[in-house]
A = this chain, B = another copy of it.
Amino acid sequence: MKVPNWLVQRASQTPDRTAVVGLERNYTFRELLNESLTVGGQLRDKGVRPGDHIGVLMSNSEQMVVLIHSLQQLGCVCVLLNTRLTVNELSFQIQNADIRYICTEESFLTYCPSADVEAILMLQELFNGSEQNSLNPRTEFELTQTCSIMYTSGTTGRPKGVLQTYENHWWSAIGSVLNLGLSDKDCWLCAVPLYHISGYSIVMRSVIYGIAMKIYREFEEEKINEDLEVGKGTIISVVATMASRLLAQLENRSYSPLFRCFLLGGGPAPISLLEQCKTYGIPVYQTYGMTETCSQIVTLPPEYSLSKLGSSGKPLFPCQLMIINSNEHGEGEIAVKGPNVSPGYFKQQEANKKAYHDGWFLTGDIGYLDEEGFLYVIDRRADLIISGGENIYPAEIENILHSHPAVEDAGVIGIDHEKWGEVPFAFVSVRYDVNKQDLLKWCEQHLAKYKLPHDVLILDRLPRNASNKIVRRDLVKKLPRR
């Protein structure tokens, strides 16, 4: 099915509304369209053709938003590259994704494996074109066409390229609006990476809804709090650590009445954080989603944001949810279905066979539904620790550690154990000096004996990936030699 070219339609409907509040300049929708077509003209003149896979290796900026739109206008597949990757990881993804050109900026040039692509296109060159050379916009978007490819954060195994169609992005935006509502005064703050679905989906919502997005180069709690205090944003996408840093910096101040909510994703949030938001009067829409579902797929409706603390909620309007292979407690793998779910991984027939069954996508995450059908996400299945036949979810232990006032961050993995098969091992970073024994005692007070960490190791900082998820395979490397 075809739909009108989104940016053209938006620029026709509400040309003068602010589309992007950038680091150095703002764009209205009319300006955003014009700039995207000008940059699109440059891309075309440098040999970029419709259907090409184009890598984008950039930090958050208004130019990156323009570039994303330019590639859509050209009909290219935008492959979003994580700026924190090593050269080897980059090289793998570039080859794996059949990337022809890379668009990047000065600061990443040295990381760019130029041997793997036909050419590297520098941001500055793309933005000095003239309007006369502008691209003619496509009239329509074919919904089934691939719009973007993102590599899964790869907390387990080798990254896989997730295909995201225009249709996926469309239904994701629509599912969200039917839950969160919409005002033409909305402004969505984007302090998450644009190369990640959490950021990219804000670009899509902005153009589909006709609302502003405000871009931050990176996450700076002070600046964001300042903006939210004076009403410069109404919604912000955050992961747990970001929310926690915002609250710590906010102290006794509060947000503008225009502020609507945190959209909190990227893995289970510690209960302590949700309770803290509650005392601050900040509505939290806890959400569960992933690259494969083009952002949210399960979100807690506003009515329940406080009474169902810790739940990710119910499937968005166009989506469905099911727990499969559940144990006697009803805990099992989370399977999801919906038009926002990716058609599959790029060139990964085996992985696709494993992940897709009868139209359902098996997420690999473990969860359960309460008696009213609310989803509680427990953990990644791959992270499950099986100790003496008992299932132990790292997140449960992490939650307990998080609730200790000294603990800044916590991560738990399973280590081999002669008697029990596996036992949990904890890593923390701390706000102030604390005794390891205190932390273990804290755990004893809150956890069943079989769940107690075998040991706790204090690190300066826990390994988190670009989506702020704990990278457990990096924790393994930090284990003391035994």
Distance, CA A12 to CA B320, complexed state (A): 11
Decide if B4 touches A208 in the complex (CB within 8 Å).
no
Decide if B184 touches A183 in the complex (CB within 8 Å).
no
- Which listed residue, B174, B182, B209, B314, touches A13 by the CB 8 Å rule? B314
Decide if B303 touches A16 in the complex (CB within 8 Å).
yes
Q: With contacts A3-B339, A16-B303, A184-B302 known, is A178 near B209, CB below 8 A?
A: yes
Is the C-beta of A210 less than 8 angstroms from some C-beta in chain B?
A: yes
Decide if B301 touches A178 in the complex (CB within 8 Å).
no
Closest to A373 in B: B12
- Which listed residue, B9, B301, B318, B339, touches A317 by the CB 8 Å rule? B9
Distance, CA A46 to CA B210, complexed state (A): 49
Task: Tell me the smallest distance from the CB of A308 to a CB of chain B, in Å.
Answer: 12
Q: Which B residues are in CB contact (< 8 Å) with A320?
A: 4
How many residues of chain A have a CB within 8 Å of chain B?
A: 33
Q: Which B residues are in CB contact (< 8 Å) with A115?
A: none
Is the C-beta of A389 less than 8 angstroms from some C-beta in chain B?
A: no
Distance, CA A318 to CA B2, complexed state (A): 9
Distance, CA A146 to CA B339, complexed state (A): 20
- Which listed residue, B9, B174, B339, touches A174 by the CB 8 Å rule? B174
Q: Which B residues are in CB contact (< 8 Å) with A4?
A: 315, 317-320
**A residues in contact (CB < 8 Å) with B:** 1, 3-4, 6, 9-10, 12-14, 16-17, 174, 177-179, 181-184, 208-210, 301-303, 314-315, 317-320, 339, 373
Which A-B residue pairs are the 8 nearest by beta carbons?
A181-B182, A182-B182, A181-B183, A13-B314, A4-B320, A3-B318, A13-B301, A14-B301
A-B contact pairs, 17 of them (CB 8 A): A1-B339, A3-B339, A4-B318, A4-B320, A9-B317, A12-B373, A13-B301, A13-B317, A14-B303, A17-B303, A177-B177, A177-B178, A178-B210, A181-B182, A181-B183, A181-B184, A183-B183
